[in-house]
Amino acid sequence: MKKIDSFTVNHNCLVPGIYISRKDGDLTTYDLRTRKPNCGIYMDNQTMHSLEHMFATYIRNSTLSDDVIYFGPMGCQTGFYLIIRNANNLRVLSVVKEVLKKILEHEGDVFGSTSIECGNYRNLELASAKAESKLFLSLLESNPNVTFQYPNE
């Protein structure tokens, strides 16, 4: 059986950053890696869930809104996948940073935090979404030469 593409990346070489995971026609899947894999420091479910709600809402209300296909967490608890149609890498990077800043500035409740809107609405906390956003934004802003390519082994 053929391995899926994400299993062909050596996760022991990955560091936090933004990468192109795959391209399928006009769709680009971005790997938003907020944590180094296999190091024992993972996002807890509340952080992943809260950041998913916040990021998904803000990016679907951004200048990329018509091209956002999907945003969601990785099961390994080290990042998120973002799928964009007709992607321009530098524009996507810019909007990702804008979204992270909006999360940091957000006042009020986590988006979708009622029982009507979410199947696990009690497992949301704005502070954890902000902490992860701050960590990832700092990383992205400290690396002006993003290549979008996975590191070589």
**Structural domains of the chain, with CATH:** 5-141 (3.30.1360.80)
CA 32 from chain centre, in angstroms, equals 4
pLDDT at 151: 87
CA 130 from chain centre, in angstroms, equals 13
Task: Name the pTM for this structure.
Answer: 0.94
Residue 23 has pLDDT above 90, yes or no: yes
3-state helix, strand, coil in the chain (%, to 5): 35, 20, 45
Per-residue model confidence as pLDDT tens digits over 56-100: 999 999 999 999 999 999 999 999 999 999 999 999 999 999 999
Per-residue model confidence as pLDDT tens digits over 46-57: 999 999 999 999
Long-range contacts, 37-41 (Cβ 8 Å, 24+): 37/11, 37/12, 37/76, 37/78, 38/11, 38/12
